[in-house]
Amino acid sequence: METGLTDGTQKLTDAFGRRISYLRISVTDRCDLRCRYCMSEAMTFLPRSALLSLEEIALIADRFIARGVTKIRLTGGEPLVRRGVDELAKRIGRHLGQGLDELTLTTNGTRLVEHAEALAAAGVRRINVSLDSLDADRFRTITRTGDLARVMAGIDAAVAAGLRIKINMVALKGVNEDEIEPMLAWCADRGFTLSLIETMPLGAIDEDRVDRYLPLTAVTDRLRERYTLVPDDYRTGGPSRYWRVQELDARLGLISPLTNNFCDGCNRVRLTTEGQLYMCLGHDDRVDLKAAYRNGGIAAVDAAIDEALRLKPRAHDFRIDRRAATPAVARHMSVTGG
């Protein structure tokens, strides 16, 4: 593996020559919503005793930054339900401008009113908000428990705190596909980017993913009947590929793991709240950084990270059809982080 950092440690390059520069950290598997495409209604969450402490998360993040990670995203579950997450953001944010280029967060927005200013003070400048409908009744149906007004208040609080916002919308056939154009127009009016996401086969849920799967190729074909879509070279370091919608002066992102595999340029690894480092969202290979740290300190964490890089696969194997109706992996998205 390639070296070159000032402290002599190895940069993060996998067996296929891809530079790993982006770490997603799930600070909790818990969430205050139960989105139908993501979770079952009755979920069993990890006991608190199984979790990494926030101090351990911060120390592991330090090591990734020392080895060349330039972007960290805090995720969940819903990250803002974990007590102390603002302090964790502040602790990691101290590296901004000193190896770390960006600290971001993905949230469902339900607790942004309470946290937006603290996140901005920690150095967060941009967040992703998951929002699948602008209709209050439909939003509650999709999330099972969600209050759209609370999310909208959170978005307003984030804007007031100076945070830039990208809206993440999972495209669901027969559920919210009629809202894609209204959501795009709403985002354009507010100066937000919209990213559409294909539903992913992660974890057993109470819904039939085959019936709800909406390929984004079909969505863009429909949009092109009314709008001019021009490729946009804007990048955030994640899997989104962007288009400019000229008539709306809007930016549209597409996250399409099924119709347009984006693995060749993968630069990401994911740390779960219990300390498992997953190299790919669609595979079960992982290394235990919690055990490594608690048994051997930072040196053992480095060795485990090196092992993870050797194990990182070339690509996922996501499929959604009747021949592959079972999830690609058993764990839910809330375990690994979005």
Q: 77 labelled as ligand-binding?
A: yes
112: three-class secondary structure by DSSP: helix
Backbone angles phi, psi at 84, to 5 degrees: 90, 5
Q: From residue 84, how far is each of 55, 90, 102, 133, 213 by CA, in Å?
A: 10, 10, 20, 30, 36
Nearest to 61 by CA among 112, 31, 27: 27
Angle between helices 289-311 and 54-66 (to 10 degrees): 30
- How many C-beta neighbours within 10 Å does residue 107 have? 27
Q: What is the pTM of this model?
A: 0.86
80: three-class secondary structure by DSSP: helix
Q: 48 labelled as ligand-binding?
A: no
Q: 269 labelled as ligand-binding?
A: yes
Q: 200 labelled as ligand-binding?
A: yes
Per-position DSSP letters for 270-303, written without gaps between them = EE-TTSEEES-TT---EEEHHHHHHHHHHHHHHH
Q: 263 labelled as ligand-binding?
A: yes
Q: 99 labelled as ligand-binding?
A: no
Domain positions in the chain? 22-336
| β-strands 193-198, 102-107 pairing | unpaired
pLDDT of 115 reads 98
Q: Which amino acid is at 207?
A: E
Q: 24 labelled as ligand-binding?
A: yes
Give residue 125's region: left, alpha or beta (phi > 0; psi -120 to 50).
Answer: alpha
Quote the CA–CA distance of 235 and 242 in Å, as a whole number. Answer: 8
Q: 22-336: what CATH class?
A: alpha beta
pLDDT of 214 reads 87
pLDDT of 3 reads 38
Give mean pLDDT in consecutive 10-residue pieces for the chain, a chain of 338 residues.
Answer: 48 89 96 87 87 97 97 97 98 98 98 98 98 98 96 98 97 94 98 91 53 87 96 84 96 79 76 94 85 97 94 62 47 56
Quote the CA–CA distance of 10 and 12 in Å, as a whole number. Answer: 6
Q: 266 labelled as ligand-binding?
A: yes
Q: 130 labelled as ligand-binding?
A: yes
Quote the CA–CA distance of 191 and 146 in Å, as a whole number. Answer: 24
Q: 38 labelled as ligand-binding?
A: yes
